[in-house]
Structure 1
Amino acid sequence: MHSFIPPERFFPYLSWTDIEAMSNKENVVIIQPVGAIEQHGPHLPLIVDAAIGMGVLGKALAKLEADIPAYALPSLYYGKSNEHWNFPGTITLSTETLTATIMELGDSIYRAGFRKLVLMNSHGGQPQVMQMAARDLHVKYGDFAVFPLFTWRVPHITKELLTPKEAAQGMHAGDAETSLMLALLPEQVKLDKAVAEYPPAQPEDSLLSWEGKLPVAWVTKDISKSGVIGDATTATKEKGDRILESVSDGWVQVIREIYHFRPPQS
């Protein structure tokens, strides 16, 4: 049931008496991985985002100092994935449903006495949902520190392993995600079906972009026929192993810092 998570770090394996007796509960770090079940091209399974979140978190928790209390909740597999719903197999929640789920989950964690919750989101289509829910939880509970974090935003070396074009334009199911899946779930990767497909280029003098400071709203079928936005053909397990080590190292740093974080006194 714990998947990649070390069993001693898996929150559901605790009993209610374990939680009631837990000391320093206000600084225990509770981590909610949030993924998605959505298309990732013809070569990757629907579970990519959820698998990456659990894989990275499990590796990080295994490396984390034993005296830092941090626990993973079960992955929230479904997310807001309607940008991919033209591709069969994608399952999506609405913004309202995902927000309500995060809010009610936060209510339960707070009621149990915890005061630090990390929303570890691995799906690029929903960071804003995490940010708004986190803000609303903190407004509701003034002493609740909620951290809406994106799995790929910690320090890591991934871009150093990619071509300049992939580093700039690869957004979905490309080299990085495919390499990481080769490290985590290699038997689920069909590398012989990998393709390279990039979105249509914007004019050189355009201020707009598909992703960036001034984006335009899009759904995947607008910019990709295969569902891939990037180059999956250059992926390797060796790169995936290095990405996993680097991103999980970044998460060790972040979890450690959150444990020591003390919110300002209001």
Structure 2
Amino acid sequence: MSFEDSVASSVSFASRTYGEITEIGDRDGSVLVVPIGSVEQHGNHLPVATDSILVEAVATLGAERVVDDVPILVLPAFWSGFSPHHLHFGGTVSLEFEHMLAAIEDVADTALENGFDAVVLLNGHGGNASLIDGAVSTIGADRTGVEVLGLTYFRLARSFIDEIRESEIGGMAHGGEFETSLMLYLREDLVDGDRLDGTYLNEPYDLGTKDLMEGGPLAVYRGFEEYSASGAIGDPGLASAEKGERIYELLGDELESLLRDVHERNR
């Protein structure tokens, strides 16, 4: 999905007039979705905006599924993430943790002035996860009467991904089978099919993260050059547009269910 496509969507915040936005925000059970991505290296085969492209596409899909029943809008993706672990490779733009937290607080705080009853911070980059969890608490503490929720979108795939994946654990990590499949379906023009190289994730601690779908309880900081010579972690060679379409539609199902629930609980 391109920026032009997202703006053309029926749920685009950016394409609305201020009067249209406040009218939607003032409706009962209104929901604002804030996609949050990154600009960081994704190996030799994917663009640096992969996380931002994918999270905005998933957010838009889920919102479009419910727009006939739910007053809902999706902001343009917050495109820069917390990505110091990718700086070694180049091509990465990273915010300081406290600066990004403050920026997300500002975005949510001002957007909520339009009357929305709930805000969903939809994250697309693993390195943002703890920051998004923190933002849910800090925004929620300051905004009584507004429900604040946070979620990393690829975790919605845990319930169905074993039916689709061919890679072993470690093959659906950064730029691996999962993200590459989605990009092949949504933006094949941005994927270099001749450079689908990656390294399976091999975290030495048993309690550490194993791939996007297998997050362990132990947090460990490592630069990604310790995991992969190319910057891609996983098995992008197993990716396909067909898998990407299945993953995308099933993610849409999961997000649709959540958004309907958020609407009903905030009416």
Q: After TM superposition, is the score higher than 0.5?
A: yes
Find the counterpart in structure 1 of residue 258 from structure 2: 254
1:125 deviation in Å? Answer: 0.6
Identify if the C-alpha distance between structure 1 residues 23 and 3 changes in structure 2 by more than 3 Å, giving closer, same or farther.
closer
Residue 148 of structure 1 aligns to a residue whose secondary structure is: strand
Query: Does the CA-based 8 Å contact 2:31-2:71 persist in structure 1?
Result: yes
Question: Cα offset for 1:65?
Answer: 4.8
- Structure 1 residue 157 corresponds to structure 2 residue 160: yes
Q: Go from structure 1 to structure 2 and tell me whether the alpha carbon gap of 1:197 and 1:128 turns closer, same or farther (over 3 Å shift).
A: same
Q: Secondary structure at the match of 2:121?
A: strand
Which residue number corresponds to residue 192 of structure 1?
194
Structural RMSD (CA): 2.0
- Greater C-alpha radius of gyration: 1
Q: Deviations over 1:22-75 (max 9, x none)?
A: 475352110010000111110111111011112212222332251211110011
Q: Which structure 1 segments of 5+ residues have no match?
A: none
Whether 2:218 is the aligned partner of 1:219: answer no
Structure 1, residues 221-262: CA drift from partner, whole Å, max 9, x if none? 111111111111111111111111111111111111111124
Q: Does 1:209 align with 2:208?
A: yes
Q: Please identify, of 168-177 and 253-262, the stretch whose mean Cα deviation from structure 2 is larger.
A: 168-177
Percent same amino acid among aligned pairs?
28
Which residue number corresponds to residue 129 of structure 1? Answer: 131
Q: Which residue of 1 aligns with 2:140?
A: 138
Question: CA 1:22 to 1:61, structure 2 compared with 1: closer, same or farther past 3 Å?
Answer: closer
Does the 8 A contact of 2:26 with 2:116 survive in 1?
Answer: no
What is the aligned counterpart of 2:113 among 108, 111, 114?
111
Amino acid across the alignment from 1:163: E
1:115-137 CA distance string (max 9 Å, x none)? 31110100011111011111011
- Please state how far the C-alpha of 1:96 moved relative to its aligned partner: 1.0
For normalisation by structure 2, the TM-score amounts to 0.89
1:42 matched residue in structure 2: 44
CA–CA separation in structure 2 for the residues paired with 1:98 and 1:201: 27
Contact 2:24/2:71 (<8 A) preserved: no
From the superposition, tell whether residues 221 and 168 of structure 1 become closer, same or farther in structure 2 (CA, over 3 Å): closer
**Distance in 2 between the 1:138 and 1:201 partners?**
34
Deviates more, 1:91-100 or 1:14-23: 14-23
The code of the aligned residue for 1:209 comes to G
Correspondence for 1:229 among 230, 233, 237: 233
Q: Confirm or deny: 8 A CA contact 2:43 2:198 kept in the other structure.
A: no
Cα 1:102–1:26 change in 2 (3 A) is: farther
Q: Distance in 2 between matches of 1:5 and 1:13?
A: 6
Deviation at 1:139, TM superposition (A): 0.9
1:17 aligned to 12, 16, 19, which one? Answer: 19
Partner SS state of residue 27, structure 1: coil
| Residue among 30, 33, 38 paired with 1:31 | 33
Query: 1:251 is matched by which residue type in structure 2?
Result: L
